[in-house]
Amino acid sequence: MRNGMKEHWVGIVCAAALAVAVGCSKKSDTAGASPFDAMTADKTFQTRGEVREISKEGRTAVIRHEEIPGYMPRMTMELNVRNPGELRDIRAGDTVDFRLNVNGQTHWIDEVRKGKADTNPTVATTNPVPAAIGAATSAPVSASATAEALLTVGAEFPDVQLMGEDGRPFRLSELRGNAVALTFVFTRCPLPDFCPRMGQQFKTARRRMQQETGPTNWMFLSVSFDAEYDQPEVLKKYAEGYRGDSLDRWKFCAADAKALGEMSGKVGLTVVADGGGFSHNLRTVVLDPKGRLYQSFNGNLWTATELTESMRRAAGAK
């Protein structure tokens, strides 16, 4: 994914390597060597897409891929590349056939081959046109964080209205008195190092805070930016996959265009509707009991331990 995703993807290959004890503090001198060489995929999908951008070293490629039935909708994503040599003759605008590999920690693509453009392509060949924030449209929302200054620590977070998984709208101010960890996701995002990782990190952090002695004035909040699709019944089912039957201090909700527009520029969140899916970056914030920004976590390389420690400190902020 693009632009705001850069800080997220700078370390993603290292993060994946660490998961299988492959060091990434120094690049291998072996031509074509990759941390993904040592990995085994749990799932593989043959698909195709249009190349939008290739990183300088060829380790990632932004591809607008077609729908993968039963796995994810058509999206524009910055994908990890196992063998950069396969992209040597590929250029932006080319149609490529490739294999997407996924395991419990990360993903990568391989077997990349230049394909013949379809007469009636499934993958669009034009740039997506974002929907305006707050516009009267049923199209998925798009939000950009480029034109607004980020909130500084101690600044008040926007008191937006969100739609809960129980079908009840609520405002963030209703959670005052609690430290709040808030992350942005959407339920149709399947790659393990994107939205699912946010859910797993929240799951681990919440469990630790439930089990260990410490403050009790805290709340986890997973906010979907795909309000049109992520209706309350969808959110509730999605939540069960992470939270189980315990509703204890973890809410799932959705932000409409207006709410997303009020929050996105404040925290550096970028969400662009693209072909039924989204190009987006990852942002997680911790708010203190007065609704002020306590800490911001960019990308996905933060740990559940770091989040837990931040939440404990924030809960005691005056």
User: Alpha-carbon distance 224 to 253, whole Å?
Assistant: 6
Query: Which burial class, exposed, middle or buried, applies to 119 when counting CB atoms under 10 A from its CB (0-12, 13-18, 19+)?
Result: exposed
- Specify whether the CB–CB gap between 118 and 95 falls below 8 A: yes
pLDDT at position 16 is 41
| DSSP calls for 237-262 | HHHHHHHTT--TTEEEEE--HHHHHH
Query: Which burial class, exposed, middle or buried, applies to 204 when counting CB atoms under 10 A from its CB (0-12, 13-18, 19+)?
Result: middle
pLDDT at position 237 is 97
Q: Are residues 99 and 197 in the same domain?
A: no
Q: Find, among 229, 273, 230, 275, the residue nearest to 74 by Cα.
A: 275
pLDDT at position 148 is 65
Phi, psi of 286 (to 5 degrees): -115, 130
Q: Are residues 100 and 166 in the same domain?
A: no
pLDDT at position 78 is 83
Report how many domains make up the chain.
2
Q: Find, among 154, 172, 155, 176, the residue nearest to 164 by Cα.
A: 172
Q: Are residues 60 and 179 in the same domain?
A: no
Other CB atoms within 10 Å distance of the CB of residue 150: 12
278 is a domain residue: yes
- Specify whether the CB–CB gap between 81 and 109 falls below 8 A: yes
User: Alpha-carbon distance 271 to 279, whole Å?
Assistant: 6
127 is a domain residue: no
Give the domain range for residue 41: 3-114
SS3 207: helix
Confidence (pTM): 0.75
- Specify whether the CB–CB gap between 41 and 101 falls below 8 A: yes
Beta strands in the chain (DSSP E): 43-54, 60-65, 75-80, 95-102, 107-114, 161-164, 169-171, 179-185, 218-224, 250-254, 271-274, 277-280, 283-287, 293-298
Q: Are residues 239 and 307 in the same domain?
A: yes
> Over its length of 318 residues, how does the chain's per-residue pLDDT go in tens digits?
544 444 444 344 334 433 433 333 333 334 456 888 889 999 999 999 999 999 999 999 989 899 999 998 888 888 999 999 999 999 999 999 999 999 988 999 999 999 876 544 443 333 333 332 222 223 334 455 445 689 999 999 999 999 999 999 999 999 999 999 999 999 998 889 889 999 999 999 999 999 999 999 999 999 999 999 999 999 999 999 999 999 999 999 999 999 999 999 999 998 888 766 777 889 999 999 999 999 999 988 899 999 999 999 999 998
pLDDT at position 151 is 96
The DSSP 8-state label assigned to residue 143 in this structure reads B
Q: Are residues 14 and 69 in the same domain?
A: yes
Q: Are residues 45 and 107 in the same domain?
A: yes
Q: Are residues 267 and 196 in the same domain?
A: yes
140 is a domain residue: no
